[in-house]
Structure 1
Amino acid sequence: MIPKRVGIKDVASAAGVSVTTVSHILNATPNTRASEETRRRVKDAARALGYGPNRLAQGLRTQRSGMIGLLSEEIATTPHAVRIILGAQEAARAHGLSLMIINSTHDANDESRRDDIAALLERQVDGILWATIMYHREVSLPSNLVGVPAVLIDARDRAGLAPGVEPDEESGARAAVTALIQAGHRRIGFVNYHGDIPATHGRLRGYRSVLAEHGIPFDESLVVAADYEALDGYAVTLPLLDRPDRPTALFCFNDRMAMGAYRAAAELHITIPEELSIVGFDNQELIAANLFPALTTVALPHYEMGVWAVDTLVRIMNGHEEDRLLSDHPTFMECPLVIRQSIAAPAL
């Protein structure tokens, strides 16, 4: 026997509400007047009955496909991409949408970028997310993305046409350095990245501002910079730790550079955290949680950024013009400190 298809009337009957109420709630119709209890009851009933909207009929009626696109750079090689995609995917599902993903590269030319956007538009996506992933930066929208509902992740639009979300690098650095000062450290080194990107400047600003707030003079000789891999962190940390007035704590630009600092400390027979405290940035768990001792670090809010981007895109798609005002400036998202075992009070 062919099983009976569950319809919207079945959901309405099970939830004890009208068909119109079910339709508005499940389709996230703007300005729907329904209590949270009613929304929960309708969604629970739909889930229990296995109800899914007829996308073909819905698309013909609303001129929407029920899909949004995600143009993501370096999916295969960037660990941060996974969390952004997961956040975006779960948020899309919560809105009853499907997510279509296209991989790109951070150095793609304008023509390649337009081709990627065209591929998504040909599949009639209702809106597009563009995640730059590698590091947040200022970008210009491809010409065929102008006028399309769009949200940027880890980037900002030069022309202010699309809203974007970025990690708050400065507040993340402030959290890291504050934790070291609260542990009793006053001689704190900073192992920074040498590239001219927002994270470099934001994290340095955070480092300097916290020192100033606690009356600790800024010592330029305690700030070193290099490329962002473990060997680079090792190369610049070794001489910093091999001086008679060495720092008692280090704040590192990322977890890979912190891993290099661990190696330098080991070579100089400096124990962590008893003789040297270290804080990283990024919370790359394969590194941070598996160093010994486990590394205290600052987490980048990639999952939360993916969720924010989808929620904002859906509001724009539904005609909430006030969300376009977010295009004038990036939305910054907090970077929380993840406490592990690499911080202790300085040795006497």
Structure 2
Amino acid sequence: MGKPRIKDVAARAGVGVSTVSVVLNNVEGARVSLETRERILSAARDLGYTSDPIARSLRTRRTQTIGFVGDDIATTPFAGRMIQGAQDAAWQAGYLLFLVNTGGEHALERHAVRALLDRSVDGVIYATMYHRHVEVPELLGDVRTVVLDARPTGGSMPYVVPDERGGAAAAVGELLRAGHRRIGFATESLEVPAATGRLAGYHETLAAAGIPADPELVAAEHGDTAGGYRTASRLLDLGERPTAIFCYNDRMAMGCYRAAAERGLRIPHDLSVVGYDDQDLIAPELSPALTTVALPHYEMGTWAVRRLLRLVQDDPEQGEQGHLMPCPLVRRDSVGPPQPAHVQPTGCQLSRSVRTDRSSVPPPVAQ
């Protein structure tokens, strides 16, 4: 028996072919009773009927496909959640996602974009592995496009990025609530949006608590484990060391753990640490487990597809051009109150219950 055709559905449901076509294609304004509609859909399910996507695209001028062009996202474990979020949102809307990972090669990127456009995708998600400013390929200038985890340097394309300031405010606020007032920041030396946003959030949150800026409490290096070790070492060797350190990312927090261990400092008994990113292979595996701020990769991927579909559907209320996705705090065991010798009485301190059951000295972290 061959593939069921629309006339087979019509015969089984006892209606005309035109009525079946109206129902299966969701033609707006069609006058078909609910009972007839249910009978047609039931017949289609029973027969295993599926519509021809090529024929449908000729009628609707849409292919129900979305192109997803990324640099190194597919090979980055934690950023790959963006792909999952985008795919889930596309699938729920009846769209298929075509993924191309370019590895950051411009020639491959141009070829990939051209190939997607040749296949008449309804729109494109242009994504990057980390938050930065990007030049969107010229080929996408007249194509419905949403930029994911980056800000376009020109044009008016919609985009979604993490709320870096808000995430930093959540991290520093957690340390303030634990009673800390001398809080260091181990940050990335590159001037990327994530670094500038997190630094701004750090300063703004301290200022709101009545704590003046102290330049010696901010140390910058490359944002990896070695950079975290070097920045934490400088901060911990100050004449009056910080009682807590906020780290630009979880890798720098790993280095901070090592610097603390070398100085005989226990986390969180002697030093509290907060990271950023919530990387699966780092934050929950450190000892004690790291309190950190999660990057909302999945949520950003979902938002990007939904925003793109509003463009595809010519929705007059398409929504905001740039969206800051909230970065939630993930509480674990690396934050505790400062030791009495470091506590400075102030009206800014807030009481809270803090877990301090895991305060053993962590082993050195490999570089």
Greater than 6 Å deviation, 4+ residue runs: 5-10, 44-51
Whether 1:340 and 2:332 are equivalent positions in the alignment is yes
List gaps (5 residues or longer) in structure 2. Answer: 31-37, 341-367
Native 8 Å contact 1:242 1:268 kept in 2: no
Q: Give the direction of change, closer, same or farther, for the CA distance of 1:268–1:300 in structure 2 (3 Å limit).
A: same
List gaps (5 residues or longer) in structure 1. Answer: 33-40
Q: Give the direction of change, closer, same or farther, for the CA distance of 1:2–1:51 in structure 2 (3 Å limit).
A: closer
Aligned to 2:305: 310
Cα offset for 1:240?
Answer: 1.5
How many residues align? The count is: 325
Q: Give the direction of change, closer, same or farther, for the CA distance of 1:105–1:95 in structure 2 (3 Å limit).
A: same
Equivalent position SS for 2:285: coil
Aligned to 2:162: 167
Whether 1:188 and 2:183 are equivalent positions in the alignment is yes
Aligned to 2:139: 144
Aligned to 1:123: 119
Rg larger in structure: 2
> For residues 59-78 of structure 1, what are the structure 2 equivalents within 5 Å?
59-78=57-76
Equivalent position SS for 1:90: helix
Q: Give the direction of change, closer, same or farther, for the CA distance of 1:21–1:203 in structure 2 (3 Å limit).
A: farther
What is the CA–CA distance in structure 1 between the aligned matches of 2:230 and 2:332, rounded to whole Å?
25
What is the CA–CA distance in structure 1 between the aligned matches of 2:43 and 2:162, rounded to whole Å?
36
Cα offset for 1:92?
Answer: 0.4
Alignment equivalent of 1:285, drawn from 280, 283, 292: 280
Aligned to 1:274: 269
Equivalent position SS for 1:285: coil
What amino acid maps onto 2:135 in structure 1?
A: S
Native 8 Å contact 2:268 2:335 kept in 1: yes
What is the CA–CA distance in structure 2 between the aligned matches of 1:47 and 1:83, rounded to whole Å?
35
Alignment equivalent of 1:57, drawn from 41, 55, 58: 55
Native 8 Å contact 1:230 1:256 kept in 2: yes
Q: Give the direction of change, closer, same or farther, for the CA distance of 1:65–1:98 in structure 2 (3 Å limit).
A: same
Whether 1:243 and 2:238 are equivalent positions in the alignment is yes
What is the CA–CA distance in structure 1 between the aligned matches of 2:9 and 2:76, rounded to whole Å?
42
Aligned to 2:86: 88
Cα offset for 1:165?
Answer: 0.5
Aligned to 1:38: none
What amino acid maps onto 2:89 in structure 1?
A: A
Over aligned residues, Cα RMSD in angstroms?
A: 3.0
Aligned to 1:102: 100
What is the CA–CA distance in structure 2 between the aligned matches of 1:21 and 1:155, rounded to whole Å?
41
Deviation per CA, 1:287-318, whole angstroms, max 9, x where unpaired? 00100010010011110010010001111011
What is the CA–CA distance in structure 1 between the aligned matches of 2:50 and 2:245, rounded to whole Å?
53
Aligned to 2:343: none
Taking structure 2 as the reference length, the TM-score comes to 0.80
What is the CA–CA distance in structure 1 between the aligned matches of 2:210 and 2:44, rounded to whole Å?
57
What is the CA–CA distance in structure 2 between the aligned matches of 1:149 and 1:65, rounded to whole Å?
14
Deviation per CA, 1:75-105, whole angstroms, max 9, x where unpaired? 3542333100000000000110110011113
Native 8 Å contact 2:132 2:194 kept in 1: no
Equivalent position SS for 1:121: helix
Taking structure 1 as the reference length, the TM-score comes to 0.84
Equivalent position SS for 1:124: coil
Cα offset for 1:3?
Answer: 8.2
What is the CA–CA distance in structure 2 between the aligned matches of 1:253 and 1:65, rounded to whole Å?
42
Q: Give the direction of change, closer, same or farther, for the CA distance of 1:197–1:47 in structure 2 (3 Å limit).
A: farther
What is the CA–CA distance in structure 1 between the aligned matches of 2:231 and 2:49, rounded to whole Å?
59
Q: Give the direction of change, closer, same or farther, for the CA distance of 1:2–1:286 in structure 2 (3 Å limit).
A: same
Aligned to 1:298: 293
Aligned to 2:128: 132
Equivalent position SS for 1:79: coil
What is the CA–CA distance in structure 1 between the aligned matches of 2:300 and 2:155, rounded to whole Å?
19
Equivalent position SS for 1:175: helix
What is the CA–CA distance in structure 2 between the aligned matches of 1:183 and 1:255, rounded to whole Å?
20
What is the CA–CA distance in structure 2 between the aligned matches of 1:47 and 1:197, rounded to whole Å?
53
What is the CA–CA distance in structure 1 between the aligned matches of 2:214 and 2:196, rounded to whole Å?
17
Native 8 Å contact 1:171 1:334 kept in 2: yes
